[in-house]
Amino acid sequence: MKADERLAIAAEILPRTSYASHPCGYHLWVSLGAGGNAAQVSGALAGAGMTAIPADSFSPSYTSAPALRVSLGGTIEASGLRRGLTMLSIFLSSTGSRPRVI
């Protein structure tokens, strides 16, 4: 699947205000809100076949807000991508806070 097809699936499932992406990119940057646990969500998504890396892995100060870089690429099929993004959507809606785009 091409990047735009994968991004279209993300747009179907996730609230548009919950992530940032590049139109030709294979990653989403997702804020988890104040109560989010990036390592926990990353592990859950890994169980669904997706790769998600806590944002503090990309921050030299380790003071970033709880967030993830979620990969839409790789060998994951559309059905697996939908399953993983649905899990992420459920998590985001259960935190009770509106995630901010990072």
CATH of the domain at 83: 3.90.1150.10
> Is residue 14, in this structure, part of any structural domain at all?
yes
What pTM value is reported for the model?
Answer: 0.85
> Is residue 101, in this structure, part of any structural domain at all?
no
Long-range residue pairs from 12-20, CB within 8 A, at least 24 positions apart, any chain:
13/82, 13/85, 13/86, 13/88, 13/89, 14/85, 14/88, 14/89, 14/92, 15/89, 15/92, 17/98, 17/99, 17/101, 18/89, 18/92, 18/99, 18/101, 19/70, 19/99, 19/101, 20/101, 20/102
User: How confident is the model over 10-27, as a mean pLDDT?
Assistant: 93
| Host domain of residue 69 | 3-94
Residue 60 confidence (pLDDT) above 80: no
Residue 75 confidence (pLDDT) above 60: yes
Q: What is the pLDDT of residues 78-92, one digit of tens each?
A: 999 999 999 999 998
Residue 100 confidence (pLDDT) above 60: no
